Structure 1
Amino acid sequence: MAEPAYVSIAGDYARRIRTGELSPGTQLPSYWEIAQRSGVSDIVVRKAIELLRNQGLVRSESRRGVFVASRTNLVRISPERQMQDPETTFGNETEREVRVERDIEQVAATSEIAEALGLEIGSEVSRVVTRASEGGRPISISDTYQPAQIEGISTAKVLEETIRDRIPSAEHAEWLQVSSGGLVKSVHQRFVDADGGVVMVSDVSYPRDRYDAFVFRMTLD
């Protein structure tokens, strides 16, 4: 999915805030100035600022403007992050080099994966392991599975995410350099189509101190 303009604008400011280019208390340009620089409408800018505000990166002061918050947090926003590849997601959080490696293979579904995807045990599924590092430090690893005949999440209508601290699998612990018995921040994802079928499941692990908060946004019809 193409990245919406407001996500791109927010990502640019988020990166500049988190790297210290925009220090706490700095006033952001006016909505009109940002709109002119970015070639977008005022509505798009308002959505970008709202996203930054929900991430705890900026604060608004009545009749004065928008300012960089005094204490900034790394916050995971959904579903906006699902519109980005990992290179873009992590690139918006740092100016250090971000490297992403992917291993793709066809495997037989274990009982756990078969149950999660509603398949027979041993059915062929696609598995993608994605490893990300920032400045040489491992920051994320994920295991993603989906039926072999399905590609991507274009048919998905619902995304469920479960967040918890847990002891990681051996592979995740090794990549994130977690000691025996140590915990990671885990996100379990289920992408479900209009008929209730699961088109993809994914388990993502982050270092426990990577994010201070997780924020979720949904549209209420």
Structure 2
Amino acid sequence: MPEQPPYLRIADLFRQRIADGDWTPGDRLPSRSALGAEYGVGDNVIRRAQELLISQGLLEGRAGSGTYVAEPRRRMRMVRSLSRERRGGSPFRADMAALGRNGTWEHQTDAKVPAPPDIAARLGIAEGDLCVRTRYEFMSDSKPVQLSTSWEPYTLTGGMIVVLPEGGPHAGRGVVERMAVIGIQVSHAVEQPEPDHATAEEAELLGVQRGALVLRIQRTYYGGDGRPVETADIVTPAAHVEVVYEVEINNGE
């Protein structure tokens, strides 16, 4: 059988030291050069071993400070459900409140952005048609848990009071409620989840290692006439968040 790569062997040894209690949550690990000398390997092997354990949630890197044993962190459950969207107000904030957490977010909206080919296809518009694009960073108790980039056709909301998702009297109320204000009833949403690895930018924003596992969700909201009214790309870190789906049962009422 092929020999195990050195960094995997070192990662196993580090994992055992954590399990044995030699290193406890909050402990700062020795420098890479010190660990390399202790285990007879180079700094690069130590770095790769630490990156692996960071991606698995056992270690955490702190810029300018070093590498620490991570505090135990339970995966947070996030429920995807259209019925939750109909509650009123921000669905994310309501879900975080139900978990006893404070849900906040940062955003950046750009109006009149030409739709790239994939977004145009999802919205049923022509490539280059103008859209309102909003990028979100969602946080739970000040810790990043989700990224999202939302696109809405400008022809749908341009000149309306809800044209800016995070501006005006209906700011932050969610797609379903905002669309209802202009007479559009969202009837359903289609979501396509796929596992993937975080890009460098996503890893930095989510506080995970580059290449860490994430769940990508491609979501599109549809009006009662079947027309797409919004589409978004959502990213959650697999190590910190578990996504479950709540399915409504229609009893014919």
Tell me the TM-score range normalised by the shorter chain. Answer: 0.5 to 0.7
Q: 1:169 Cα shift? A: 5.0
Segment of structure 1 superposing worse, 141-150 or 178-187: 178-187
TM-score, normalization by structure 2: 0.52
Mind listing any 5+ residue stretches in structure 1 that lack a counterpart? 1-71
Q: Check if 1:105 corresponds to 2:110.
A: yes
Which amino acid in 1 is paired with 2:140? E
TM-score, normalization by structure 1: 0.59
Q: Percent identity?
A: 19
- In 2: Cα distance, 1:138 partner to 1:73 partner: 12
**Partner of residue 140, structure 2:** 134
Which amino acid in 2 is paired with 1:180? R
Query: Kindly tell me: are residues 73 and 124 of structure 1, through their superposed partners in 2, closer, same or farther at Cα, counting changes over 3 Å?
Result: closer
- In 2: Cα distance, 1:198 partner to 1:100 partner: 25
Which amino acid in 2 is paired with 1:111? P
**Partner of residue 80, structure 1:** 83
**Partner of residue 128, structure 2:** 122
Mind listing any 5+ residue stretches in structure 2 that lack a counterpart? 1-74, 158-177
**Partner of residue 169, structure 2:** none
- In 2: Cα distance, 1:219 partner to 1:149 partner: 34
Aligned to 1:115, what secondary structure does the other structure show? helix
Which structure has the greater CA radius of gyration?
A: 2
- In 2: Cα distance, 1:169 partner to 1:112 partner: 19
**Partner of residue 92, structure 1:** 98
CA contact (8 A) 1:153 1:191 kept: no
Q: 1:170 Cα shift? A: 4.8
Which amino acid in 2 is paired with 1:102? H
CA contact (8 A) 1:87 1:100 kept: no
Aligned-residue RMSD, C-alpha: 2.6
